[in-house]
């Protein structure tokens, strides 16, 4: 009788072959609508998807939304209309490797590149001399921190979750090394550790208004440890704590509560 692992291996080969040839699922009507209402710009031969909606009349305020891992700009769909009632321009993009943007392989994905892509979009839209409000989540938080470090233009920053190495399960995540694409994307975890002083330091030294919107049930940034650390490191930041049942995606789990928290912050100065 063959060893069990040999039998498992023989069975896995045809199953893997079938899996690799399964076509991707069709897009839902909502996603098709989201894509059709956006467009693309080119950054170093890469096609980057973005949405840009003109909203409130009489306002000159602009907000750029930076999504998390492993999702896309569609994370903001439930608060999009509410934001257009407050801001003149509401803009979101899919980072390279995510959503409807290109996913080059092989490629060395980095937070630095994603920040440069955001800057490229700002220039593409002719907004590089205007004040920008950044609303970021998860992976996008680190991109926002890099943009803050560069300080190339005035920013008003709202972070859904700032990832401090050593706090939260994300910093201990181990990516599957047999998936090169996923592994290359997940290098941002190691980049957070390597460049902690740069990115946390940018938050600690800035005069830009900072705000955190936090869901206490978030498994990535557990309560109360994360909140205690955040307030200790960034005592000048304001904080909104949502209902106890809200977790890692408050903009989807509680769009009304999230939007109210963000607008209260924006309208406070």
**H or E segment and range at residue 15:** helix 4-20
What confidence score (pLDDT) does residue 174 get?
45
pLDDT greater than 90 at residue 152 = no
Among 49-63, 149-163, 192-206, name the one with the lowest average pLDDT: 149-163
Confidence class of residue 151 from pLDDT cuts 50, 70 and 90?
Answer: confident
What confidence score (pLDDT) does residue 183 get?
85
| Both structure tokens of 73 | 């700009």
User: What mean pLDDT comes out for the span 141-148?
Assistant: 94
pLDDT digits over 207-257, tens only?
889 999 999 999 989 999 999 999 999 999 999 999 999 999 999 999 999
What confidence score (pLDDT) does residue 39 get?
98
Confidence class of residue 170 from pLDDT cuts 50, 70 and 90?
Answer: very low
Burial 158-183 (b: 16+ CB within 10 A, else e): bbbbbbbbebbebbeeeeeeeeeeee
Is residue 17 a part of any domain in this protein? no
What confidence score (pLDDT) does residue 175 get?
45
What confidence score (pLDDT) does residue 201 get?
93
pLDDT greater than 60 at residue 8 = no
Is residue 40 a part of any domain in this protein? yes
Is residue 15 a part of any domain in this protein? no
pLDDT digits over 76-129, tens only?
999 999 999 999 999 999 999 999 999 999 899 999 999 999 999 999 999 988
Q: Which of 239, 188, 237 is nearest to 215 (CA)?
A: 239
- CATH code, domain with 112: 3.40.50.1820
Integer Cα distance of 80 and 4 in angstroms? 53
Q: Report, in this order, helix, strand and coil percent for the chain, each rounded to 5.
A: 40, 15, 40
The average confidence (pLDDT) of the chain is 86
pLDDT greater than 90 at residue 4 = no
Confidence class of residue 17 from pLDDT cuts 50, 70 and 90?
Answer: low
Is residue 181 a part of any domain in this protein? yes
Of 55 and 34, which is predicted with more confidence? 34
**For the chain, what percent of residues have pLDDT higher than 90?**
68
Is residue 33 a part of any domain in this protein? yes
- Per the structure, the complete domain to which residue 197 belongs is given by 24-267
Is residue 3 a part of any domain in this protein? no
What confidence score (pLDDT) does residue 30 get?
95
pLDDT greater than 90 at residue 1 = no
What confidence score (pLDDT) does residue 167 get?
42
pLDDT greater than 90 at residue 19 = no
User: What mean pLDDT comes out for the span 148-161?
Assistant: 67
What confidence score (pLDDT) does residue 177 get?
46
Burial of 92 (0-12, 13-18, 19+ CB in 10 A): buried
Contact of 135 with 87, CB cutoff 8 Å: no
Is residue 68 a part of any domain in this protein? yes
Of 32 and 174, which is predicted with more confidence? 32
What confidence score (pLDDT) does residue 5 get?
54
Burial of 244 (0-12, 13-18, 19+ CB in 10 A): exposed
Question: Total structural domains in the chain?
Answer: 1
Is residue 6 a part of any domain in this protein? no
Integer-rounded Cα Rg, in Å, for the chain is 20
């Amino acid at each position: 009788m063959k060893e069990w692992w040999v039998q498992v291996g023989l069975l896995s080969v045809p199953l893997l072959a079938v899996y690799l040839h399964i076509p991707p699922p069709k897009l839902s009507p909502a996603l098709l609508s989201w894509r059709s209402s956006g467009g693309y710009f080119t950054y170093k031969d890469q096609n980057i998807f973005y949405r840009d909606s003109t909203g409130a009349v009489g306002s000159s305020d602009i907000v750029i939304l930076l999504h998390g891992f492993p999702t896309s700009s569609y994370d903001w769909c439930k608060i999009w209309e509410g934001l257009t009632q407050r801001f003149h321009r509401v803009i979101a993009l899919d980072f390279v490797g995510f959503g409807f943007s290109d996913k080059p392989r092989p490629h060395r994905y980095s937070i630095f590149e994603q920040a440069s892509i955001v800057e490229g979009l700002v220039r593409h839209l002719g907004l590089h001399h205007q004040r920008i409000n950044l609303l970021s989540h998860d992976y996008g938080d680190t991109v926002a921190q890099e943009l803050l470090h560069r300080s190339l233009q005035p920013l008003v920053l709202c972070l859904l979750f700032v990832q401090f190495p050593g706090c939260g399960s994300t910093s201990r995540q181990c990516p599957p090394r047999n998936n090169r694409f996923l592994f290359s994307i997940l290098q941002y975890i190691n980049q957070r550790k390597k460049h902690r002083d740069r990115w946390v330091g940018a938050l600690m030294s800035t005069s830009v208004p900072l705000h955190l919107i936090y869901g206490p049930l978030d498994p990535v940034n557990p309560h109360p440890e994360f909140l205690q650390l955040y307030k200790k490191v960034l005592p000048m930041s304001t904080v909104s704590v949502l209902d106890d049942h809200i977790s890692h995606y408050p903009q989807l789990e509680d769009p009304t509560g999230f939007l109210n928290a963000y607008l209260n912050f924006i309208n406070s100065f």
